[in-house]
Amino acid sequence: MTQFHPKITPIYQTSVFTFEDLNELEAYFEQPGNQYMYSRFGNPNTDELAAEVNKLEGGAGAVVTSSGMSAILVAVLTYCQAGDHVLCAEEIYGGSASLLSQELTRIGIAVTFVPGDELYNLGNYVQDNTKLLLAETISNPLLQVLDIQKLAIETKRAGIKLVVDNTFASPIITKPLALGADMVMHSVTKYLSGHSDVTAGVVVCREEEDLKRAKQVVMTFGVNLSPFESWLGARGLKTLKLRMRQHSQGALEIARFLEQHPKVEQVWYPGLEQHPQHELAKVQGNGLYGGMLSFRIADDLETVNTFMQALQHIPFAPSLAGVTTSISHPLRTSHRSFSPEKLQKLNITLGVIRLSVGIEDGEELLADLEQALERV
Instruction: Assess whether 263 carries a catalytic annotation.
Output: no
CA angle 217, 223, 229 (to 5 degrees): 135
Between 355 and 373, whose beta carbon lies closer to ligand PLP? 355
Which DSSP helix (H) or strand (E) runs through 248? helix 240-259
Between 36 and 170, whose beta carbon lies closer to ligand PLP? 170
- CB atoms near residue 27 (< 10 Å): 14
Least separation in angstroms between residue 347's CB and ligand PLP is 18
Between 151 and 264, whose beta carbon lies closer to ligand PLP? 151
Between 168 and 269, whose beta carbon lies closer to ligand PLP? 168
Q: Which residues contact 176 (CB under 8 A, 6 or more apart)?
A: 57, 137, 148, 162, 164, 166, 184
Max Cα–Cα distance, the chain, nearest Å: 74
One of 28, 40, 256, 342 is an active-site residue; which one?
40
Count each helix (H run) and each strand (E run) in the chain, helices first: 13, 11
Distance (Å, whole) CA 330 – CA 352: 7
Between 130 and 187, whose beta carbon lies closer to ligand PLP? 187
Instruction: Assess whether 120 carries a catalytic annotation.
Output: no
Least separation in angstroms between residue 139's CB and ligand PLP is 8
Distance (Å, whole) CA 312 – CA 306: 12
Instruction: Assess whether 40 carries a catalytic annotation.
Output: yes
State the residue number with the nearest CB to ligand PLP.
Answer: 68
Least separation in angstroms between residue 166's CB and ligand PLP is 9
Least separation in angstroms between residue 96's CB and ligand PLP is 6
Distance (Å, whole) CA 322 – CA 360: 11
Residues at the interface with ligand PLP (CB under 6 A): 67-69, 93, 95-96, 136, 140, 165, 167-168, 187, 189-190, 199, 201
CA-closest candidate to residue 58, choices 177, 219, 198, 215: 177
One of 125, 131, 147, 165 is an active-site residue; which one?
165
Least separation in angstroms between residue 92's CB and ligand PLP is 7
Instruction: Assess whether 213 carries a catalytic annotation.
Output: no
Catalytic residues: 40, 93, 165, 190
